[in-house]
Chain A
Amino acid sequence: MTKQILTLIGVSVLVAIAVNLIHPEGLPWVEDWASRVEAQAVHEEVALVQLSDMLKFMRDGSRLFVDAQPAEKYARAHLPGALSLPFDTLDDQSAEVAEVLASDQPTVFYCSGPECDDSLLLAVHLRELGCKDVAVFIGGMELWQSELLITEGEAVQ
């Protein structure tokens, strides 16, 4: 039995190598996953929110959504009811920061997509300022729009 199991494992290694060689979407054997925003969020111990959670939060209105994208991107399209707090102009946004800090609702931060780290940086910054319950929707606008979900902004009109 052990011999058979080891043989199957050996065959699997060969199959993995062969399939990855000929596969049009073959993976590099080593990839820099550590630089992904999601890995950084886990490292920073910031909670992650999935799309299915977002849909639930949208329905029950239990979360404050904060858009960390630049103002012009927010103006084009954003999640329904989201507050704009661009990370790149944070120093000029003290009123919005105060609004988020004063809110007793848990806050979900998002930005343009999984490659964008503004939402995470903003979440970490506001947590340091005293915002207790912060989470990040890593998929951001990219995932939201790819699922053809409702948005607000100029692009909608």
Chain B
Amino acid sequence: MRKKKPVVDFKKAINMEYPTEYYVALVLGVFFLIISCTKILHPHVFATSLFRSHLMPYPMVNIAALLFMSLEFVAAFAVVFMTKWRRAGLWILLGLMVVYTGCVMTNLLRDINTICGCFGSHARMSPISRWTLVRNFAVIIAGLFALRGKSI
């Protein structure tokens, strides 16, 4: 019987024998996995964040919220636990980040003072600003960097 390749070879991982892109992909995957779990636990909070972007037809808000958080979870799960699906998962996470960043950018241009909710939200969170864009772009760049690696 053929021996199954482990998802993560911890010995290799701890000895930093994988390329940097691999670690960046894993960090992103774990990060999105945690964030998506908080969204799934409190779906109404995420739906409210999407509503507050005021960019999609209101009847579509809940459908988009349910699909986005589930997509985020499945893609992040693939990045962390499914070696052969990691690249596809990363592309999806990157796509979601582009959508979220587009929403932030549009609302900044429309001067709508709202809370992002891209990575969860709470009442005292600061509204979106140029720093929200910087943060989102940093995640996008990290995603692109990870995708550059041939053996992630």
Which A residues contact B (CB, under 8 angstroms)?
1, 4-5, 7-9, 11-13, 15-16, 19-20, 23, 25-34, 36, 38-39, 42, 47-53, 55, 135, 139, 143, 146-147
Contact = CB atoms under 8 A, between A and B. Distances in A.
Nearest to B56: A33
Interface in B87-113: 87-89, 91-92, 111-113
Given A25-B42, A50-B114, A52-B127, A4 B85 contact: yes
B114 A1 contact: no
Interface magnitude class on chain B: 35 or more
A48 B43 contact: no
B112 A42 contact: yes
Given A9-B92, A13-B70, A19-B66, 13 more contacts: A1-B87, A4-B87, A8-B71, A12-B67, A19-B70, A29-B66, A33-B51, A39-B58, A50-B127, A51-B124, A52-B125, A135-B113, A146-B123
B43 A26 contact: yes
B127 A15 contact: no
B28 interface: no
Given A33-B61, A49-B113, A50-B114, A11 B88 contact: no
A112 B91 CA distance: 44
10 contacts: A5-B91, A8-B89, A16-B67, A16-B71, A38-B52, A42-B112, A47-B113, A50-B113, A50-B115, A50-B125
B6 interface: no
Contacts of A19: 40, 66, 70
A15 B74 contact: yes
B149 to A, nearest CB: 15
B51 A28 contact: no
A9 B63 CA distance: 14
